[in-house]
Amino acid sequence: MFAYRHGYHAGNHADVLKHLILVTLLDALRRKDKPFFVMDTHAGDGGYALDSAMAGKLAEYADGIGRLWPHRGLHPAIDGYLDAVASYNTEGRFAQYPGSPLIVAGRLRVGDRLLAVEAHSAAGARLDELLSDHANAQVLRGDGYAALKAALPPRERRGLILIDPSFEVAGEFERLTEALRLIHHRFRQGLVAIWYPLLGHKPAAPWLDTVQNLGIPDILTAELRVGPPTQGPGLYGSGMLLVNPPWGTESQLREVLPMVSECLNGHRDGACVRTLVGERGEVAPRA
């Protein structure tokens, strides 16, 4: 966990999926006048220079945000995400990619609040710097899972918990399961968004089966694949598990993600959105 640095992967296809959905959820929260709380349990550096040696080593952004960047006007949700990225790039120059904390901070209103948790010391220092001008954003150093218990329920009684671990340590899916149980117990009405990888050697399907049987209603998954499943360690796509998605989220993602897939892959078949558990707790059949 402490060796992982997201700067090598900033702006890749996984970030496109994660941050497009994040913007969609934040905009849904903003539709009501009441303040909301956002907790980012694995916040990272907060922002990334795409012209840095770290980002340039793999240049994964070229096949992620780089492919979507020219395609404005496809859908308001895509434009909202691109606008969030563009706000950190001046004069049309595409050189900076905002991480989740900056995207959240840019959409907070007076009274809204962000708690960004990061365990890596260097990333936490950078996060402190980037969020220093945001009075309603707090940075906490430490383990994001451990911080959940103290942070929930939030005083705002509405909001979003974003969990985006590196999946570089054993037992990550088990920790996610326990986190879901805790959130459901302490913040049942809150939105939850969990990013997970699609890896041939470590499939997410067994974990999704476990989630279906937790007794938590209203769960949706949205996946974006950029290649065929492999047996090796390579990431061929990723997914977002959403608990309590706002009304209309599923239909919007069914419309938007095939467009994103076409921009990234040249075809619309890389997108998959499905109900995992219905609003009344009914478990959906496997696809």
How many beta carbons lie within 10 A of that of residue 231, not counting itself? 8
Active-site residue, 164 included: yes
What's the rounded Cα separation, in Å, for the pair 193 and 195? 7
CB 223 within 8 A of CB 237: yes
Residue 190's nearest CA partner among 111, 244, 116 is 244
- State the pLDDT at residue 3: 47
Q: Which residue in the list 15, 45, 112, 164 is annotated as catalytic?
A: 164
Residue 200 lies in a domain: yes
Geometric angle at alpha carbon 137, from 165 and 18, rounded to 5°: 35
What's the rounded Cα separation, in Å, for the pair 37 and 17? 22
Rg (CA), the chain: 18
Count: domains in the chain: 1
pLDDT tens digit sequence for 156-211? 999 999 999 988 888 999 999 999 999 999 999 999 999 999 998 788 999 999 99
How many beta carbons lie within 10 A of that of residue 123, not counting itself? 22
What's the rounded Cα separation, in Å, for the pair 65 and 85? 9
Residue 2 has pLDDT above 50, yes or no: no
Domain boundaries, position 85: 6-225+245-277
Residue 87 lies in a domain: yes
Mean pLDDT rounded to a whole number for the chain: 91
Residue 238 lies in a domain: no
pLDDT band, residue 5 (cuts 50/70/90): low
Residue 92 has pLDDT above 90, yes or no: no
Q: Binding site, residues?
A: 19, 42, 100, 118, 143-144, 164
Residue 287 lies in a domain: no
Residue 171 lies in a domain: yes
pLDDT tens digit sequence for 234-261? 889 999 999 999 999 999 999 999 999 9
| Model pTM score | 0.94
Residue 103 lies in a domain: yes
CB 241 within 8 A of CB 196: yes
Residue 235 lies in a domain: no
Residue 117 lies in a domain: yes
- State the pLDDT at residue 52: 67
Whichever domain contains 267, its CATH number is 3.40.50.150
CB 154 within 8 A of CB 189: no
Q: Binding site for S-adenosyl-L-methionine, residues?
A: 19, 42, 100, 118, 143-144, 164
